[in-house]
């Protein structure tokens, strides 16, 4: 997960939301949750979704807000997620400020029938497909939270760092969202070890980024160029992918995290 800088609601989207609310017979004012969830969803379906998706795609640099897999501005690749669930939050149901662009979380991956029967070969759903309507503590618009996200180099597992001042309660709540609600680490056994990956192969994909970074470090180390300044230059280049409307590499947060930790270490050694 990486920090997402939420942009201002585009005027056309805001106007459309107001129009939907005020249209005579829209019943928005009278809706009460959770019993009128379906009616509220019908109003949400009148929102200009292509435009919303295009704006989310740009502000998130082409990455799923939860897992950093590729999303696009197309409906077939990207869902519009209500950060505050629609079934419990009427005020934010038609509000662009409550929207995230997310992947299909494995709903579209195709498997052999025999694999389906052997659940363990196909893995679990992730992101919105796994979350459903559950409330979240972890929040990609919260910079402090996102700066506390880390990755284990060997396993590719995503975790919340406990030593960056967030407090135990928050760290635990965020980790629970990662593991049990969004399933970004696949399925874990009772000892907390990863039993199998997600359908979307998140753990394996992050691990392959980790492997690629480790061999880069070896290569740069052997050439004698691996210094904090050298890495800072690489970090700046990666971070420029997260500027303007640029589209970033999938799982960019993993590489950035490993570069930053290594640069810190090298600085301390100096």
The count of residues interacting with Zn ion (CB under 5 A) is 5
Q: Using alpha carbons only, give the angle 214, 218, 223 rounded to the nearest 5 degrees.
A: 145
C-alpha span between 59 and 6 (Å, rounded): 7
CA distance 164 to 104: 32
Q: For Zn ion, give the closer residue by CB, 37 or 200.
A: 200
57 near Zn ion, rule: CB under 5 A: no
Nearer to Zn ion, 67 or 256 (CB): 67
Binding to Zn ion, residues 114-133 (CB under 5 A): 127
What is the footprint of Zn ion within residues 92-111 (CB under 5 A)? 103
66 contacts Zn ion (rule: CB under 5 A): yes
28 vs 104 by CB, closer to Zn ion? 104
Nearest in space to 128 (alpha carbons), one of 108, 144, 148? 108
Among 67, 124, 182, 210, binds Zn ion (CB under 5 A): 67
Of the two residues 128 and 153, which places its CB atom closer to Zn ion in the complex?
Answer: 128
64 binds Zn ion (CB under 5 A): yes
71 binds Zn ion (CB under 5 A): no
- For the CB of residue 131, give the shortest distance to Zn ion in the complex, in Å: 10
Q: Are residues 184 and 136 in contact, defined by beta-carbon separation less than 8 angstroms?
A: no
Does residue number 1 form part of the binding site for Zn ion (CB under 5 A)? no
Residue 83 neighbours by CB under 8 Å, 6+ apart? 92, 98, 99, 100, 136, 139, 141
Helix axes 252-269, 202-223, angle to 10 degrees: 40
Q: Which residues bind Zn ion (CB under 5 A)?
A: 64, 66-67, 103, 127
């Amino acid at each position: 997960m990486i920090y997402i800088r939420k942009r201002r609601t585009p005027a056309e989207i805001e106007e459309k939301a107001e129009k939907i609310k005020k249209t005579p017979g829209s019943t928005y004012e009278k809706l009460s949750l959770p019993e009128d969830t379906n009616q509220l969803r019908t109003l949400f379906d009148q929102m200009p979704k292509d435009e919303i998706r295009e704006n989310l795609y740009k502000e998130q640099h082409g990455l799923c807000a939860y897992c950093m897999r590729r999303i696009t501005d197309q409906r077939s690749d990207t869902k519009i997620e209500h950060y505050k669930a629609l079934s419990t939050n009427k005020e934010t149901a038609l509000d662009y400020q409550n929207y995230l662009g997310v992947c299909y979380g494995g709903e579209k991956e195709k498997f052999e029938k025999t694999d389906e029967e052997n659940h363990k070969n196909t893995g679990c759903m992730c992101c919105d497909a796994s979350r459903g309507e559950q409330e979240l503590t972890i929040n990609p618009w919260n910079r402090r939270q996102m700066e506390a996200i880390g990755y284990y180099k060997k396993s590719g597992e995503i975790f919340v760092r406990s030593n960056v001042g967030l407090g135990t309660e928050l760290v635990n709540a965020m980790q629970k969202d990662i593991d049990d609600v969004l399933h970004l680490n696949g399925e874990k056994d009772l000892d907390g070890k990863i039993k199998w990956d997600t359908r979307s192969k998140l753990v394996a994909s992050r691990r392959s980024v980790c492997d690629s970074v480790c061999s880069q470090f070896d290569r740069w180390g052997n050439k004698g160029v691996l210094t904090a300044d050298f890495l800072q230059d690489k970090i700046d280049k990666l971070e420029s992918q997260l500027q303007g409307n640029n589209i970033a590499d999938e799982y960019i947060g993993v590489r950035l995290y490993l570069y930053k930790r290594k640069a810190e270490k090298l600085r301390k050694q100096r």
